[in-house]
Structure 1
Amino acid sequence: MAKFLAFLLLALVVISVMQIPIMASQEDIQLNKRQSRYGSGSLKGFQCPSQCSRRCGRTQYHKPCMFFCQKCCRKCLCVPPGFYGNKAVCPCYNNWKTKEGGPKCP
């Protein structure tokens, strides 16, 4: 009886240890899905106008924002989430600078 209980306990430990990598891989898949939604190359060229309209929707400088956003989107194939900031999600969009060294993309 003691051997059976020891075997059962060992089996439960092995099963619980095996569950951890499976759960971690599912979390990695979900994280990759979220990142691929906004990362470099996540858009097609025809999606740029709608994504830039979303990005520039709350600015008072709508026309220049749209111009530069679409230019950046065509090059990087991504537009960061939100209306401002979050550029780290799209390194190409974040790192493209003007001649003076300021950010090119809104």
Structure 2
Amino acid sequence: MAISKLFIATLVLSFLLLHVVQAQDIIESNGPKRSQLGINCGAACVARCRLSSRPNLCHRACGTCCARCGCVPPGTSGNQEMCPCYYNQTTHGGKRKCP
């Protein structure tokens, strides 16, 4: 009887520990993203999208563009010459992808 209680307690603690480790991995993977060139895309996109009427959409598009190009133009709009790769990306419909 004592062995089965010990076994169940060990099993429960193992599952709890596994859950905590997986939760930590999820939190770390959702943190600020850095492109391969070292720019903090999260912070750059917050600055770029701060005046957007659709901030969630803006952050998602900006993050994708930043990860691909490694740069985000300064300011909330314009400044295309500062990051041509970012500016020249388009959607399947031919519209500009990056905010």
**Short-chain TM bin:** 0.5 to 0.7
The one-letter code sitting in structure 1 at the alignment partner of 2:49 is C
* Bigger RCO of structures 1 and 2 (CA < 8 A, at least 6 apart): 1
Instruction: Give the TM-score, by structure 2 length.
Output: 0.60
User: Aligned pair count?
Assistant: 64
The one-letter code sitting in structure 2 at the alignment partner of 1:58 is L
Supply the distance in 1 between the matched residues of 2:68 and 2:88 (Cα, whole angstroms): 12
Supply the distance in 2 between the matched residues of 1:69 and 1:48 (Cα, whole angstroms): 8
Give the alignment partner of residue 83 of structure 1, picking from 69, 76, 79: 76
Q: Which has the larger radius of gyration?
A: 1
The one-letter code sitting in structure 1 at the alignment partner of 2:38 is K
Structure 1 residue ranges, 4+ long, deviating more than 2 angstroms after superposition: none
* Counterpart residue number, 1:69: 62
Supply the distance in 1 between the matched residues of 2:43 and 2:88 (Cα, whole angstroms): 22
What percent identity do the matched residue pairs reach? 42
Instruction: Give the TM-score, by structure 1 length.
Output: 0.57
Structure 2, gaps ≥5 residues long: 1-34
Please, what is the CA RMSD of the aligned residues?
1.5
